[in-house]
Every structure is written in structure tokens, then in C-alpha cells.
Structure 1
Amino acid sequence: MIFSKRIMSAEFIERPNRFQAYVYINGKKEMVHVPNTGRCKEILLPGTKVLLREENNPNRKTRFDLIAGYKDKKLINIDSQIPNKVVEEALRARKIDQLKKYTNIEREKTFGNSRFDFKLTDKNDNKYYLEVKGVTFENDGITMFPDAPTERGKKHLLELVQVIKEGYGAGVLFLIQMDNVNKFMPYDNMDKAFSDALRLAAQNNVDIFAYDCSVGRNFITMKNKVQVELS
């Protein structure tokens, strides 16, 4: 997908809370919104070059969203609203081999008491529920999720197991918001309960996908399937 709004460069200063950060824009300090509740500590370091998306909404307290940052030379998108949009684009373009047969794509659909990111249906009315998680943590080519404890994430995985038990297809797709990575793993040291739930989901035939992205100043798109290592 290509970003239609103006993108600007800035220098990161600090992040006093999950939703706000301070940056230098052309030498002037300004508060911006951070659309990611994860920690992103290895990306958002003082002096780091970051990218801002101009919002120009008179009802907002801030003019910009902080959507990406450079870790060394690697550009990492951190906008938590992006993964579902990128995955929807990929689903409609039939870029995910195991899901090509599903031609009806619906967003934010419920199953029982649960709501999943996508409900997919094929021409024979077979249904598949897909949850998407954005990944921003990387170390030496290894990407991991989550970068902060997530009870909600564990709940989604256990609900996908229930989908399988009721006779439907189910999967979780980890969209790695950067390129040139080697593999994906659950982040045991950050959230062991989530990691164990992911392994349980895999044991119950929930599909586990990971894909990296081509990321540029004004675009992001799904790129390559990435090896998933659960052990």
C-alpha cells in the first residue's frame, strides 16, 4: 500500500507514555502521537531518525503520527493500524498460497463471543478465521512477538483453537513490518503465556504464518514468507 498523506523525517527525543512522543522537526521540539502500544525500545532511541505521517485533523492534539523508525539502516514500520490493511491487500491479490481459495474477504467478524480480524469464505461456503499480529521486534535477523505482555493476544489464540474444534479453518498471521529477516519466533522471555498459547494453537491445527514486508518512506507491502520456529 502507498501512503497518500505527507511523510516527514524527524529526530526522536523521548516517549513519555505509550501514546505520545517528542521529536525534533526542523530543529523544533514537537509532541506527536505513537500509534503503537508496544515498547519499541530498540527502535525509539534518542537521536534516531523517524518518519511522521501528517494528519491535519483539527480535533487532534498532535499534527503527526510517528509511523516508522530506523534501526541502523533498517526501516521498521511501527504503525499498529497498518498490518490489517497490508494483509487485506495481500489476500485480495492472492499472495498467501494457503488462503488463495478464499474469495470472500470480510473484516472484523465475530465468531461466538470473539471478534477476529478476517473472516474468509470460499465458493463452497467453507469458512476460515484469521487473526493478524504486527511484529516490530528484531535482533540479528530474528523477529519475535510480542514485545510487551499481551493477555488479549493469548485470548485470541485460544479462541482460534475453539474455531478449529467447531469445524472451521483458523490461522494467525504475523506481519513483520520490515524486510530482510531470517525467521520468526515467539518471545518467551517477554510473555511465556502467549508463547505457550501459540504452541498449543499450532498443535491444534491453527495455521501459523509469518511474512516480512517491503518498507519504504511512503509505502509498505507484504513480501516473503518467513520461517516460523516454535520450539
Structure 2
Amino acid sequence: MLITNRIRLAKFIHRPNRFQAFVDIDGEEIIVHVPNTGRNKEILVPGYTVVLREENNPIRKTKYDLIAGYKGKKLINIDSQIPNKVVEEALKEGKIKALKNYNKIKREKTFGCSRFDFKLEDEEGNEYYLEVKGVTYEENGITAFPDAPTDRGRKHLLELVEVKESGKGAGVLFLIQMDKVEYFTPFDERDKLFGEALRYAKNRGVDIFAYECEVGENYILLSKSVEVRL
């Protein structure tokens, strides 16, 4: 996915709340929007370089979105709106091998009372429901989700089990918004219940995928499968 808006680099100063941060652009301190409610404490560190995307919307209170940050030499995208767009692009291009036979791709579809990121169908009409989670936490090559407790995320996993038990396909894809990682694992120290739900879903037949991305300041692309350790 190519980011066509203007990109600026800045120095991170501080984050007063989940949705806003202060950054330094060429010596000027400004406030920007943070499109990610996770902690991201390993990325949003005072003095670290961050990537801003200019938003040309006159009714916005902020001119820029903070979409990525450098952790050393590693660039990590943190935009929570990006994963579904990247996965949709990858599905259309057949990059996710286990799902390449599903040629009908629909966004934000319901099953029963649940809404999932994708509903996929193949030529025979077989249905597959896919939920996507963006991963931004990394330490020594190990990536994990979630970086903050998520009751909503756990609920999605249990709902996918219901889909699977109905005879339809079900899976969750963890999109790791960086490259060159070792493996993915649930972040039990941050949310034990999510980890338990993920293992339960796996045992009940729900597919667990993890893919890393090729990331640049103005693009992000799903690249290759990553080992999942539960």
C-alpha cells in the first residue's frame, strides 16, 4: 500500500493522552493525532524520530497523523487503520497462500450478531471469516499482541470459534507492522485472557496466521509468513 499524502519526519516529545502527541518539526512544537490507542511505549520515546502523514482536512484540529516511528534502525508502522487495507490488498493479490482460493472479498461483514473484518468466498460458495489484528510490539525480534488489554479482541476470538463450529472457515491474521522479526506470540504478560482465548481458538480449529510487512516511510506491504508460537 502506497501512502500518497505528504510525509514529514519529526522528533517525538510526549503523548498526553491516547489520541494526541507533541512532536518537534524543524524546531517547532506541534500537536498531532495518534491513530493507535495502544501503549507503543517502545516506539514513542522522547527524542525518537517519528513519521507524520499530512491530512488536508480543514475541519481537523490537527494537521498530521503520527503513523510510524523508528526504534533504532527498525521502522514500525503504528497506524491502526492500515492493517485491513494491507490485508485486503494482499488477499486480492493472492499473497496469503492458505486463502488464495477465496476470490470474493468483502469488508466488514456480519455472522450472526458478530461483525468481522472480512468475509471471503470461493467459487463453490464456501465462506471464510477473517479477523485482522495489527501488531506493533517487538523486542529482540519477538513480536507480541496485544500491548494493552483488549476485551474486544478476546471476544472476536470466541466469535470465530462459533463461526468454525457452524461449519464455515474462520481465522485471525496478525499483521506485524515491521520487517525482519523472529516469531509472533500472544503477549500473556499484558493480557493473559487474550492468550488463553487464542490458544482455545486454535484448539477449536480457528486458523492463526502471522505475516510481517515491508515498511517504508510512505508505504507498507504484506511480505512473508512468520512463525506463530502459542
Shorter chain as denominator, the TM-score bin is: over 0.9
Q: 1:1-231 counterparts in 2 under 5 A?
A: 1-230=1-230
Q: Quote how far apart the aligned CAs of 1:178 are.
A: 0.1
Runs of 4+ aligned residues of structure 1 deviating over 4 Å after TM superposition are none
Secondary structure of the residue that 2:148 maps to in structure 1? coil
State the alpha-carbon separation in 2 of the partners of residues 132 and 7 from structure 1: 26
Secondary structure of the residue that 1:65 maps to in structure 2? strand
State the alpha-carbon separation in 2 of the partners of residues 197 and 27 from structure 1: 47
Q: Quote how far apart the aligned CAs of 1:17 are.
A: 0.3
List runs of 5+ in structure 1 lacking aligned partners: none
For residues 55-100 of structure 1, the C-alpha deviation after alignment (integer angstroms, 9 at most, x for no partner) is: 0211100000000000010000000000000000000000011001
Q: Quote how far apart the aligned CAs of 1:24 are.
A: 0.4
Amino acid at match of 2:190: M
Secondary structure of the residue that 1:185 maps to in structure 2? strand
Q: Quote how far apart the aligned CAs of 1:217 are.
A: 1.1
- State the aligned residue count: 230
For residues 32-52 of structure 1, the C-alpha deviation after alignment (integer angstroms, 9 at most, x for no partner) is: 000000000000000000000
State the alpha-carbon separation in 1 of the partners of residues 10 and 52 from structure 2: 7
Amino acid at match of 1:120: L
Amino acid at match of 1:8: R
State the alpha-carbon separation in 1 of the partners of residues 52 and 165 from structure 2: 43
Amino acid at match of 1:12: F
Amino acid at match of 1:219: Y
Secondary structure of the residue that 1:175 maps to in structure 2? strand
C-alpha RMSD of the superposition = 0.3
List runs of 5+ in structure 2 lacking aligned partners: none
Q: Percent identity?
A: 67
State the alpha-carbon separation in 1 of the partners of residues 200 and 56 from structure 2: 44
Amino acid at match of 1:89: E
State the alpha-carbon separation in 1 of the partners of residues 211 and 82 from structure 2: 14
Amino acid at match of 1:116: F
